[in-house]
Chains A and B, each alone.
Chain A
């Protein structure tokens, strides 16, 4: 198994993580405390907050986030611990002795109110127009904790320009409450390192290197900070007005592709529980909004598998048969634009290892304005392609200057799950009430393999389903095609599949143990890349990396909030939908077969597909100019 290297995140961002007791069954591992005069037993080292949660005592939090290490800075979770002069932050206090806790004394209530009051005194922004007005944590706390006026004033004037430099992530620092969740997300969770606290005292603010705009620093656009921001200080660059304009323009043919992850999550925006798949309802809603065609990104995910899988097999052949010493193995996946920008910045010397295959979104766009235009006799300049993605980095991706292989901008707009939900609401539609309908042809049919791209390990699983069958002529030897080794949320997963009984064309792979690694979140990606640099991945063939924790289902454009539990539910929805499909392997997708017969006639990785479906990368490096 791979050794995990020491994380690069600074100690200060992690030092306050509290170690859990080793063995919950050992003697002395639980401790009896008094919580609001009730005796309870908790594991030693549990935080007061966790103890409260487990005992149905609600303690408000702001800087606390399940995905992040402890900060203890907002102080809204303070409680009284008997014998201590000051109030203690419940989120940051590990229980190691028999303490008595009170969570709703006069002092505590006053302090909470004061803290919320103070935050509001520095928080400029009208709730009416805020993107987060339905799910702003500050707003919720203010109403829950009886803050009904601005006791300490309110900032009337805007102090900061909104940083709109990025294609993906916008920052309105007037709404920032300095909980530092974004900092911990960026530095510790993702190890990208764009945002930090700058200056001190009253001048403290969250900033970038030398206060530069986001587009000029090394932001990978993953948007994880947005998902964890309690207020509307961070949000995506919303293209919905442009899309409305295109829809309203009768000369434009507006098509939309929807990725699997938004479909598994968009229900949350309409009050449905996490893990409710809305594919059929969404198709209807999109048509009612006025999109001319509704397509399934899973189709191009299948195409990606064909291209990326073929590329891998070609690389394997070059290595094993031609004994080419320069062949780049392992091959890294390239569907995640956050990850792609990450490697361009931090490991530019390794870009040749990245698959040249475009992401499903971009493959789709390129085909839309070529093949589709041709088939349906449309002028590509009148086609507007919109991609519904769980991702903020997709906005940057579709704006990359090289993504114009069709002769036009391949994908015009990347739209996040949240932004689409807003459009649906604006159109007067309540999504869960919609009747179900199917996707449009010719990109309407997809396999379950394309669908599971949404969860970490999905690309690997999809690729294995196809590659194994192509190589051996048999289905992958797993019950119901579930390749469990690819599933789950462990940071870095590693497994292998033995190739035996290969068909003649691939006989050189006979007996090869096909080794693969799956990682999600760029902190894990960094670990993988460091191991790769040390030569520890020399015997690995294929590496799947997704930029966001959990993969696309945890993307920066997904409904807020996010938590390990929510991501797990969304993944379950995707896997369940996969099992309900009749076609579950990319190479069996009839439309994929058709496109190789009719359009990409020289096959996967052929000349034409190279032109349209593959791309080049930029050696960006990490120096900030």
Chain B
């Protein structure tokens, strides 16, 4: 299958470096749980799915919980528009991802690992299953892993069925339990009450893939990359108007401008950082840094050149959320419909500024009153495009929009 860039051509600081399967597991077992947690804490690794919760805290809470069973779930429900880094990791670096899961299992005392693979990636299913079989043969999975008495851990792959919201960790758990993928009320958090009511760590593919590297090369080494609050490197999935779209591993803190140079983007008007749930950055802000402190992202970077209609982009994103909201809570279910209606009115020119002001306020409410991260971030694109490209948006007044 054509995957764009060859693996051998990939260059990076952490994830896109050599890793020998099983080596970090060996080190983890030799050093003990405390060491793993120590290195992780030192690394200041934060969740790569976008929310940026400290991974070590998540693991520590679950490790401290006493329960009959614990679970480690790898969130491979990569559905954020413009994100495809997990595809690359799973296809090309499964050893790092799965070893990360085994180490997590060892550290928190979980016996079961589940990979929730999005339905769209079903084509990887057989390959990944085969890889897991190989791990079992090498005793990297199964009973008494690598001779460690009592360390039993196995991984199962479960397929999603086409629902963006299942990337939200509690929705993912609901889906695993055979339910509609509707996010739960939190608290309680999955680290206490997760899959089947047991303590569960849900980590992004990229987070887990970083763990073996951190363990082998120390947390201190990892921390040297990136910025103070955003340590290490990040995989950026770059798409849109540029010469070299693809996945790039770059240190956190790189500016939008620098990234655009790397991927060969010219005449760029705007960059959508963080996918549909992210924000749209105009040219004037290209010095902004990609980091948790400034423009945080799960990795999606979409580049739009001068010829593109931002209203069209907005339209596409709002369509997306109306479809992909789980439909459970009022602000997200109806709020997104009203915002989409607003986009239609912007397109037709049939709007008043008072009405647009109301929609902006509604967006602010959705950001704080929605039940989960999806709803809370769903108005971001609408609000930021409206704010940063107001001239363009209001000028299209009545004239309709040209196709992007």
Q: Which of B193, B325, B336, B368 contacts A107 (CB 8 A)?
A: B368
Q: Mark B307-334, 1 if CB is under 8 A from A, else 0.
A: 0000000000000011111111111011
A115 and B358 contacting across the interface, CB-CB below 8 Å: no
A72–B165 CA distance with the chains assembled, in angstroms: 17
Interface SS, A side: loop
Verify if B109 is at the interface (C-beta below 8 Å from A): no
Q: Which residues of A have CB within 8 Å of B185?
A: 16, 70, 72, 89, 92-93
Number of A-B contacts (CB under 8 A): 124
Q: Mark B222-241, 1 if CB is under 8 A from A, else 0.
A: 00000000000000000000
With A201-B323, A203-B327: A152-B362 Cβ-Cβ less than 8 Å: yes
- List the one stretch of B131-139, B174-182, B242-250, B390-398 in contact with chain A: B174-182
> Using a CB-CB cutoff of 8 Å, which residues 1-55 of chain A contact chain B?
10-12, 15-16
Q: Which residues of B have CB within 8 Å of A89?
A: 185, 371
Q: How far is the CB of A95 from chain B (nearest CB, A)?
A: 10
B330 and A73 contacting across the interface, CB-CB below 8 Å: yes
A200 and B163 contacting across the interface, CB-CB below 8 Å: yes
With A15-B197, A152-B358: A111-B368 Cβ-Cβ less than 8 Å: yes
B180 and A86 contacting across the interface, CB-CB below 8 Å: no
Number of A positions contacting B (CB below 8 A): 41
With A118-B335, A197-B180: A110-B365 Cβ-Cβ less than 8 Å: yes
B187 and A201 contacting across the interface, CB-CB below 8 Å: no
The chain B residue with its CB closest to the CB of A122 is B334
- List the one stretch of A74-82, A290-298, A562-570 in contact with chain B: A74-82
Q: Which residues of A have CB within 8 Å of B365?
A: 110-111, 114-115
Q: Which residues of B have CB within 8 Å of A94?
A: 187-188
A96–B335 CA distance with the chains assembled, in angstroms: 31
With A115-B331, A202-B327: A12-B180 Cβ-Cβ less than 8 Å: yes
The chain A residue with its CB closest to the CB of B334 is A118
Q: Which of A72, A76, A178 contacts B333 (CB 8 A)?
A: A178
Q: Which residues of B have CB within 8 Å of A78?
A: 368-369
Q: How far is the CB of A143 from chain B (nearest CB, A)?
A: 18
A509–B185 CA distance with the chains assembled, in angstroms: 56
Verify if A121 is at the interface (C-beta below 8 Å from B): yes
Verify if A119 is at the interface (C-beta below 8 Å from B): yes
Verify if B277 is at the interface (C-beta below 8 Å from A): no
Verify if A204 is at the interface (C-beta below 8 Å from B): yes
Q: Which residues of A have CB within 8 Å of B362?
A: 114, 118, 152
Q: How far is the CB of A180 from chain B (nearest CB, A)?
A: 8
Q: Which residues of B have CB within 8 Å of A119?
A: 330, 334
Q: Mark A551-572, 1 if CB is under 8 A from B, else 0.
A: 0000000000000000000000
Verify if A199 is at the interface (C-beta below 8 Å from B): yes
Q: Which residues of A have CB within 8 Å of B322?
A: 201-202
A96–B334 CA distance with the chains assembled, in angstroms: 32
B338 and A121 contacting across the interface, CB-CB below 8 Å: yes
Verify if A146 is at the interface (C-beta below 8 Å from B): no
Verify if A540 is at the interface (C-beta below 8 Å from B): no
Interface SS, B side: helix
Verify if A477 is at the interface (C-beta below 8 Å from B): no
A88–B182 CA distance with the chains assembled, in angstroms: 17
Verify if B294 is at the interface (C-beta below 8 Å from A): no
Verify if B184 is at the interface (C-beta below 8 Å from A): yes
Q: How far is the CB of A193 from chain B (nearest CB, A)?
A: 14
From B163, B329, B334, B341, name the one whose CB has the most chain A CB atoms within 10 angstroms.
B334
B333 and A87 contacting across the interface, CB-CB below 8 Å: no
Q: Which residues of A have CB within 8 Å of B325?
A: 200-202
A218–B321 CA distance with the chains assembled, in angstroms: 34
Verify if A85 is at the interface (C-beta below 8 Å from B): yes
From A92, A111, A178, name the one whose CB has the most chain B CB atoms within 10 angstroms.
A111
A204–B327 CA distance with the chains assembled, in angstroms: 6
The chain A residue with its CB closest to the CB of B342 is A152
The chain A residue with its CB closest to the CB of B170 is A15
A85–B323 CA distance with the chains assembled, in angstroms: 26
Q: Which residues of A have CB within 8 Å of B291?
A: none
A197–B327 CA distance with the chains assembled, in angstroms: 9
B371 and A72 contacting across the interface, CB-CB below 8 Å: yes
A114 and B361 contacting across the interface, CB-CB below 8 Å: yes
Verify if B207 is at the interface (C-beta below 8 Å from A): no
With A11-B177, A178-B327: A115-B333 Cβ-Cβ less than 8 Å: no
> Using a CB-CB cutoff of 8 Å, which residues 331-377 of chain B contact chain A?
331, 333-338, 341, 358, 361-362, 364-365, 367-371, 376
The chain A residue with its CB closest to the CB of B326 is A200
The chain A residue with its CB closest to the CB of B322 is A202
Verify if A153 is at the interface (C-beta below 8 Å from B): yes
B334 and A201 contacting across the interface, CB-CB below 8 Å: no
A12 and B182 contacting across the interface, CB-CB below 8 Å: yes
Q: Which of A110, A178, A202 contacts B361 (CB 8 A)?
A: A110
Q: Which residues of B have CB within 8 Å of A92?
A: 185
Q: Which residues of A have CB within 8 Å of B329?
A: 72-75
Q: Mark B127-159, 1 if CB is under 8 A from A, else 0.
A: 000000000000000000000000000000000
B327 and A111 contacting across the interface, CB-CB below 8 Å: no
Q: Which residues of A have CB within 8 Å of B177?
A: 11-12
Q: Which residues of B have CB within 8 Å of A87?
A: 368-369
Q: How far is the CB of A107 from chain B (nearest CB, A)?
A: 6
Verify if A374 is at the interface (C-beta below 8 Å from B): no
Which A residues lie at the B interface, using CB under 8 A? 10-12, 15-16, 70, 72-76, 78, 85-87, 89, 92-94, 96, 107, 110-111, 114-115, 118-119, 121-122, 151-153, 177-178, 197, 199-204
A sample of 8 cross-chain residue pairs with beta-carbon separation below 8 angstroms, ordered by A number, consists of: A73-B328, A78-B368, A89-B185, A151-B358, A177-B330, A200-B323, A201-B322, A202-B337
Given contacts A75-B329, A107-B368, A202-B333, 12 further A-B contacts (CB under 8 A): A11-B177, A16-B184, A16-B185, A94-B188, A96-B187, A111-B368, A114-B335, A151-B358, A197-B180, A202-B327, A202-B334, A202-B336
Which B residues lie at the A interface, using CB under 8 A? 163, 165, 174, 177, 179-180, 182, 184-185, 187-188, 193, 197, 321-331, 333-338, 341, 358, 361-362, 364-365, 367-371, 376
Closest 9 CB pairs of A and B: A204-B327, A92-B185, A118-B334, A114-B365, A111-B369, A72-B185, A12-B179, A202-B322, A201-B325
